[in-house]
Amino acid sequence: MTAFWRDRNVFVTGGTGLLGAWTVEELLARGAHVVCLLRDETPQGRFWTAGLRDRATVVPGALEDHDSLLRALNEYEIETVLHLGAQTIVGTANRSPRATFEANVRGTWNLLEACRAIATVRRVVVASSDKAYGDQPKLPYEEDAPLQGRHPYDVSKSCADLIALSYWHSFRLPVCVTRCGNLYGGGDLNWNRIVPGTIRSVVRGERPVIRSDGTFVRDYFYVQDAVAAYLHLAQCMDDPALHGEAFNFSNETQVTVLELTRRILQVMGSTLQPDVRNEAKNEIKRQFLSAKKARERLGWEPRWSLDDGLAATVQWYRAHLAAT
């Protein structure tokens, strides 16, 4: 399937983020012409340190700027759009809901409006989240569950998800939506997230901090599995029967935050004890996904176990932190 991407023009939002940088790298390796929307210069990120900034075409701009999006899609004759860009931090959303809604909600409809206007666009994959489901009585979440976010970040993802699907139902824009659990992997420099934060604390000989009470249950999905899932879905979208569908992607391994922290400590050979602060607000207690639909409709399977993904992630951060 690698040949599928050769010489294809792909527009990636959020290319400097965790998922985005790994996706851009994989697309370039498969021979695609990658165009990235770039809002900020952050030279310490993987997009720069892995040399992706010099290999992809960069368009300065933001999701809030419809004209920049329209120009980029038109000028570079974009065929595939991977909308990975968003404000992704729950705490930031709680502090700055307006900015989060601007980026995640208005940014999504701006991009979809631009896609609707450009005839070359043949497939659009929009990154939603398990947070779009909100708090549900039935677990694991399946794709037909209602989208009922309540807190700012969750609501922004519920809205963007619904908007994306409305562009299929109303305008037949070829859109699919992805909903993943908590992504982790090398290159995430948001140190307040549990995986990179724990690893950095252990490298520094400090107790890792858990903001919640440690009992919150989540999916943790390795970034390279997510990249493979996104690209596989985009390839499958040559089948119009998939348009307007949402797909959960997960390795279907649910763990508490405390258990995840202890697994990282074990991988790192550390005897440090977590500092459990029970300070988290506006977060859902239990969230995890069923990936049955993706397995049956797309023939997709994850390749990385949680322990293997954590081992690879620890290795990446040890090298990164030693070099900085």
Amino acid, res. 143: E
208: exposed, middle or buried (C-beta count within 10 Å: 0-12, 13-18, 19+)? buried
In this prediction, what percent of the chain has a pLDDT beyond 90? Answer: 93
Mean pLDDT for all residues in the chain: 96
Distance, in Å, from the CA atom of 64 to the CA atom of 62, rounded to the nearest integer, reads: 5
> Mean pLDDT, to the nearest integer, of 199-216?
95
Q: What b/e sequence results for 245-254 when a residue is b if at least 16 CB atoms lie within 10 Å of its CB, and e otherwise?
A: bbbbbbbbbb
Q: Quick one: pLDDT band at residue 1, thresholds 50, 70, 90? A: low
**Residues marked as catalytic:** 153
Q: What pLDDT score was predicted for residue 309?
A: 98
Q: How far is CA 5 from the centre of its chain?
A: 20
User: Domain 2-185+220-251+288-303 classified CATH 3.40.50.720?
Assistant: yes
The two tokens of residue 263 are 């697994």
Q: Is the pLDDT of residue 280 over 90?
A: no
Identify the three-state secondary structure at position 100: helix
Residue 64 phi, psi (nearest 5):
-75, -10
12-45: pLDDT as tens digits: 999 999 999 999 999 999 999 999 999 988 888 9
First CA to last CA across the chain, in angstroms?
A: 37
Identify the three-state secondary structure at position 105: helix
List the one residue out of 157, 164, 295, 290 whose CA is nearest residue 236. Answer: 295
Under a CB-based contact definition with an 8 Å cutoff, are residues 174 and 165 in contact?
no
> Mean pLDDT, to the nearest integer, of 296-319?
97
The two tokens of residue 90 are 């729950």
Q: Is the pLDDT of residue 293 over 70?
A: yes
